[in-house]
Structure 1
């Protein structure tokens, strides 16, 4: 069996990177229906306070939107939750028993926290199906991944994800030939294949067409309930289309929180973020 150098390289990359997204079915205590606790969180960079005594609580199965101007602390918050940044003070718990500040990035991912960055990072020389297949084979060695067949359960899981993200008919298409929006959906699917409990999605509709944006809204809305979804977004029309609860960050703290109507009519939010026309 002849395998190209590209296939070798991309499979090696997937084996190295994707374990960060693969949970091992840990027990998460959500008996109080609260999945994520962030309390008194502070982070400073060279004297700049990126997060300032921030408090945030996310319920299991919730769809939460985070908005705020550049520098409000959104990315830093995501970095702390996923273990990329160590805070100066505060606590972050996944469920009631897992202290995320005591865990490494791989350990946090294995708990069931998946993160999608703004720019899609799919393997363009592989098909849509192969991208999802590689995401399923996280805990297997390179040669096992290359030469073994998928089980019926794994094939079923891939088909389920393909239907969820709307790419079943494109399953044999190279990922590099997909539209920008389809690549975003594929990357969300790659996260879903590893069955995370918490999805952190950063600016999912940047650069999308109106039709792709509408489809993305439907996709993210459909994921809530079975998953907890936190969306960071600047497109306010998109936020309005999916928002159940919106949290507004400003200068590293929570400025306001509530429904979209409550937030956009909040005088403080109007002044510092949404502007006169909000």
Structure 2
């Protein structure tokens, strides 16, 4: 027996039982700020990982976070994404969404995507399949078994393939990609779910100079439509992409400004160059 075409509409990925999906609150950026981090404190066994940290990121901005190991960069991203709960402080997504009241899964649904340093793609699946699996859809068993891509979602995947430069590799198994291409694919897996805020951890570690240059172009192209926060140790890469740099030290923001401004900031010079002076 052949299913009626109208009955198949129920199982489209963008029409699967919408009443089961939580309503998406609007991200209020009426003050142009999309991320408010205020008075954040967190200690681990007496070690002060975050110390009254304050950070404000504008909607559509490309912000770089730099600092020595242990400065609090990864811990800050853990708090923003719900992986870690701080001892005190507040984290708001736009004016009204309190991220500390949500878990990791819900924060991802709200529009915050995170990419870790090591790429985590499905190597036995094709590039296109990786992007399809990453779509923001109901992941229940029945919806997954019976769903089919809508034309809008097919267009989104095609657009992301162009953005990340992997159109020619879309039928290639992800395990056969170069290290840099896997990094781009993982960024693409975030993009298909249409996040407002992207947190990217050390995107160019282990890349060739050509891949590093391409990654700089990719991240720069995302700013505006998305807000992008990049944690990176490669200072030349940071200089090539960042308009605003936040320097973290001992769990606080030590300085903020352009790359030239922070490099010439007296506190930064004292902390990072004082021993060599």
TM superposition score normalised by structure 1 = 0.88
Judging changes above 3 Å, is the alpha-carbon distance between structure 1 residues 173 and 24 closer, same or farther for their aligned structure 2 residues?
Answer: farther
Say whether the 8 Å CA contact 1:24–1:111 is kept in structure 2: no
Where 1:168 maps in the other structure, the secondary structure is coil
Q: CA shift at 1:70, angstroms?
A: 0.2
- The answer for the alignment partner of 1:35 in structure 2 is 34
Q: CA shift at 1:276, angstroms?
A: 8.8
Relative to total residues, which structure has the larger helix share, 1 or 2? 1
Where 2:109 maps in the other structure, the secondary structure is helix
- The answer for the alignment partner of 2:58 in structure 1 is 59
Q: Which has the larger radius of gyration?
A: 2
Say whether the 8 Å CA contact 1:134–1:145 is kept in structure 2: no
Q: CA RMSD in A?
A: 1.8
Where 2:40 maps in the other structure, the secondary structure is strand
Structure 2 matches for 1:167-186, cutoff 5 A? 167-186=166-185
- The answer for the alignment partner of 1:199 in structure 2 is 198
- The answer for the alignment partner of 1:128 in structure 2 is 127
Q: CA shift at 1:273, angstroms?
A: 2.8
Q: CA shift at 1:146, angstroms?
A: 4.5
- The answer for the alignment partner of 1:119 in structure 2 is 118
Say whether the 8 Å CA contact 2:72–2:249 is kept in structure 1: yes
Distance 1:250 1:125 in 2: 40
Gapped runs of 5+ residues in structure 2? Answer: 1-20
Say whether the 8 Å CA contact 2:37–2:54 is kept in structure 1: yes
Judging changes above 3 Å, is the alpha-carbon distance between structure 1 residues 270 and 83 closer, same or farther for their aligned structure 2 residues?
Answer: same
TM superposition score normalised by structure 2 = 0.88
Distance 2:87 2:41 in 1: 6
Distance 1:24 1:65 in 2: 31
Structure 2 matches for 1:93-104, cutoff 5 A? 93-104=92-103
Structure 2 matches for 1:75-224, cutoff 5 A? 75-136=74-135, 138-142=137-141, 144-146=143-145, 148-224=147-223
Say whether the 8 Å CA contact 1:199–1:230 is kept in structure 2: yes
Distance 1:152 1:109 in 2: 24
1:234 and 2:242 aligned: no
